Structure 1
Amino acid sequence: MCSRKWETHHNTIMPNSEVKNHFGIKETNFEGDDATNDVEIAEEKSSSLTTWDTKAILHLIEFYKINEKLFKSSSVKRQKVWNIVSEGMKKEGYVYTKNIKNTQPPIENDEEPTEKRTKVEKKKESRTEKGQNKIMDFLQTREEKKDEERERRHREKIKEVKETRKAYTEVMQKLIEKL
């Protein structure tokens, strides 16, 4: 690859021929009545499972150019723009993901299956979910406290009624004995 590069703010831009070399694309020119430039993907001799379709690359560049102002805007999150780009790629018939390695189909009849490098992580709660959980916990504990308080008051009333009955029966027995 040629050492000639132009650098921008945070991206490296390469000349067209270098981009094609970088992605393993070769050009073939057909001459004749319908002279066209046909771009084909060069088959890699390595055992790499990922190959890029040139149309997909062109669509990706096109969607980036359409949404370039959003990428440069500091008020809009880039993830939002990449979601727009991925939706556009899906409409064109491509699946766009950030991590291509995880999208590869498993190899069937493989004698020694390789372990997936997936890490199961607990999904982080958003602020609204945290707030909702705190509110629900507060309401639940408040209801439990109210129920405990009702039961305590009920036990106290029953105890008072029993004491009142006991005192009443004692007084009535003394009164009956005097009569």
Structure 2
Amino acid sequence: MSGSPRPIFVVQLHDARRLHYDVRLEVDGVLKSWAVPRGPSLDPVVKRLAVFTSDHDLEYASYEGVHRDAQYGSGAVIVWDAGVYTNLTRDDRRQLVDPAEAIERGHLKVQLHGVKLNGAWAFTRTNGDWLLVKVKDADADPGVDLTVAEPRSVLSGLTIEEMAAT
């Protein structure tokens, strides 16, 4: 999945202790990951909690199935969205900031080019927590909740409930 000249992103819906969305960005050969309990919102006014979690191997980007062990949290996983992204993070002098450095600094802005998610998004660390916010752009749409409107995997076409039943 990483043969692209641009880095990949994946959003996996994971039914572990609680249902949540794992937003993962390819950075320096691994998937940097945030657990987003309520999933991404297309409304720029909505700030979603994004809990920074452990890095995952790039191969994990295409994983779908049911974890029966606790390594990544037991439960069903589907690839809810996937694609590539462009780093948009700039410093005060308008110079592009490397994604790994941007994460270290606590602010990363990316342009997603996915099946479901498109447009600019910002990850911002505040008081130890992270927030995921849709940037106001042509792809922002406060009237649409993609987590409800588009529940199926972009790989298998299964819902999280159908994957859990396999």
TM-score relative to the length of structure 1: 0.20
Higher relative contact order (CA closer than 8 Å, sequence separation 6+)? 2
Question: Which structure: greater strand fraction?
Answer: 2
Greater helix fraction, Structure 1 or Structure 2: 1
TM-score, reference length from structure 2: 0.21
Larger Cα Rg: Structure 1 or Structure 2? 1
